[in-house]
Amino acid sequence: MSKILEIKDLTIHYVTDSEVVRAVNDISIELEEGESLGLVGETGAGKTTTALGVLGLVPNPPGKVISGEVIYKGQDLLKLSDAEMRKIRGREISMIFQDPMTALNPVLTVGDQIMEVVRLHQKVSKAEAMKRAMEMMEMVGIEGARCGEYPHQFSGGMKQRIVIAIALACNPNLLIADEPTTALDVTIQAQVLDLIDNLKKKFNTSMLLITHDLGVVAEVCDKVAIVYAGRIVEYGTLNHIYNNPHHPYTNGLFGSIPDFSHKAHRLNPIKGLMPDPSNLPEGCAFAERCPHVTDACRKKQPIAVEVEPGHFVRCLLHEKEVR
């Protein structure tokens, strides 16, 4: 296995006249070939901005990549020109967007939309591209003959399958999936997750899965990064995070989910709210909500420590233990 993607200390801010929103702060991630990493966090944690940063799609202005490197197969994507980046998007790295209802163009047939990406990246005739589009549709479980239909003629689950077909049409090496199943019903979600999982295995695609659903992550990911206020607070394998969580926020997240396998009388939610990313505290961003908070937490930004091989936690509580 070799590294396919390495994000090093990525920092992205949204700068407006009145404030600076620190959306992503020093995020570092490594992804091996064929591996899936789940980026988990709540609304506003900076998950989607991280993904947009990888693809060079952060809206600028106001978005600005302050520092960091995104190394894909040995080259830093952030240093590439727009033209070079366009060659990578869709062919090497592609993205599945969250909302299938708005991700598709309503005035183009779905066949045309799948064809578009094929024709952009491969020198093929229109007829060949259409053949490829129909193959892709069959692969995601929709009759190829429906390629002349428009998005509104499909249901939500089918639209998401078409979005997946577009993303996979050029056999990308890396797939970024931004909440691919959030807008879908559970039975359809299960179908789509199975589909992504099968296609991933078939083509040995790596995946960065962005979600807030710890259940979905457990189904499809190998590694997990828990994001809070633009920082990765805990990072490790599925087993590390689910069976041996260390960070108080991770524990809080698990305490907030009603347990499906047995009935508890009360939930243990995390108190309070996520801090405003335009006004992050000096110390640990989770301090105000943390049950184990100390004075030191409010002053010092914790560094990531390795509590067991491959399992990193960013918390002062564990910083001391390790030393």
CB–CB of 219/46 below 8 Å? no
Q: Which is nearer to another protein, 21 or 65 (CB)?
A: 21
Q: How far is the CB of 84 from another protein (least distance, A)?
A: 37
Q: Which is nearer to another protein, 97 or 154 (CB)?
A: 154
Q: Which is nearer to another protein, 56 or 248 (CB)?
A: 248
Strand ranges for the chain from DSSP E: 3-15, 20-32, 36-40, 63-72, 75-76, 93-96, 174-178, 206-211, 223-228, 231-237, 304-308, 311-314
Q: Rounded to whole angstroms, how far apart are CA atoms 160 and 184?
A: 9
Q: How far is the CB of 114 from another protein (least distance, A)?
A: 20
Map tokens 């577009």 to a residue.
166
Joined together, the tokens standing for residue 219 give 């189904």
Q: Which is nearer to another protein, 152 or 266 (CB)?
A: 266
Tell me the backbone φ, ψ of residue 292, rounded to 5 degrees. Answer: -110, 20
Q: Which is nearer to another protein, 75 or 204 (CB)?
A: 204
Q: How far is the CB of 126 from another protein (least distance, A)?
A: 31
Per-residue buried b or exposed e for 23-37, using 16+ beta carbons within 10 Å of the residue's own CB: bbbbbbbebeebbbb
The residues of the shown chain that bind another protein, judged by CB under 8 A, are 42-43, 155, 157-158, 185-191, 193-194, 212-219, 238-239, 242-243, 252-261, 263-264, 266-271, 273
Joined together, the tokens standing for residue 276 give 């405003």
Q: Which is nearer to another protein, 65 or 177 (CB)?
A: 177
Q: Which is nearer to another protein, 107 or 273 (CB)?
A: 273
Q: How far is the CB of 75 from another protein (least distance, A)?
A: 35
Per-residue buried b or exposed e for 207-221, using 16+ beta carbons within 10 Å of the residue's own CB: bbbbbbbbebbebbb
Q: How far is the CB of 57 from another protein (least distance, A)?
A: 24
Provide the 3-class DSSP secondary structure of residue 315. coil
Cβ neighbours of 78 (radius 10 Å) = 16
The answer for residues whose C-beta is within 8 angstroms of residue 181's C-beta and 6 or more apart is 160, 188, 189, 192, 193, 211, 213, 216
Q: How far is the CB of 201 from another protein (least distance, A)?
A: 11
Q: How far is the CB of 42 from another protein (least distance, A)?
A: 4
